[in-house]
Amino acid sequence: MEHTNFEIQDGILKMYHGINKHVVIPEGVMEIGDEAFEDNEFVQVLEMPSTLVKIDAWLFYGCCCLKDIIISPDNPYMTKIDNCIYSKDKTTLLLYPPYIKAEKFIIPDYVKEIGKMAFYRSSVKTVICNNGLETIDEQAFFSCEKLEKIYISDTVTEIGDEAFFNCESLTRINIPGKVKVIKTSVFENCDSLKEVILDG
């Protein structure tokens, strides 16, 4: 079967040229290029192949009509639970899709890590971390512009560079005592940040 709307090279989907509302990405695609769906105004549902290895919100920049991402049940790398996408073993939150409109999100108990770009441009206002979370990766909340409060559990030991970059509505955050290094760029462009609580 010929997929004329897909520009694929070495397992990477470089560009999608179609205007379909429901797009089924072909099996064999392992990675989606950063610009493959950039500013696509047509796609509403994206169905991912079982061969896809990684995913993050940056891939859907400007997809103003996107309403759902479907993960193949045969994918050995990731799974979907309650609209969020996790690693197959559920220990890493890979993607909190930007089309989710809930204002509050509680990180599930089984999550140990919030992945890179997981909350990019999401509309969530409050995030509560679970006891057991260990890592907030670099750029995890990058440009999460509506985020106002995040409650970080004292089990977190690592907060990556630019984790809260451009969270312009963030007013309060606590830093657990187990976190060893905090770089200044973690809170860059957080212009509303008024309170940083150092726990322990």
Q: Which tens digits make up the pLDDT trace of 106-158?
A: 999 999 999 999 999 999 999 999 999 999 999 999 999 999 999 999 999 99
Side-chain-side CA neighbours of residue 28 (13 Å)? 9
Is residue 2 scored above 70 in pLDDT? no
Is the pLDDT at 40 greater than 70, yes or no? yes
Main-chain dihedrals φ then ψ at residue 95, nearest 5 degrees: -155, 125
- Structure tokens, 128: 């509560």
Token pair in block for residue 82: 């309650």
Residue 85 main-chain phi, psi, to 5 deg: -115, 130
Name the percent of the chain in helix, strand, coil, to the closest 5. 5, 30, 70
Residue type, 63: C
Place of tokens 């030991």: 157
Q: Which of 15-19, 54-58, 185-189 has the lowest mean pLDDT?
A: 54-58
Residue 200's pLDDT is what?
59
Say if residue 1's pLDDT is above 50.
Answer: no
Dist CA 190 CA 187 (whole Å): 5
Reported CATH class of domain 81-200: alpha beta
Q: Which amino acid is at 159?
A: I
CA atoms within 13 A on the CB side of 115: 20
Residue range 155-162: average pLDDT? 94
- pTM recorded for the entire structure: 0.92
Spatial distance between the Cα atoms of 120 and 86, rounded to a whole number of angstroms: 15
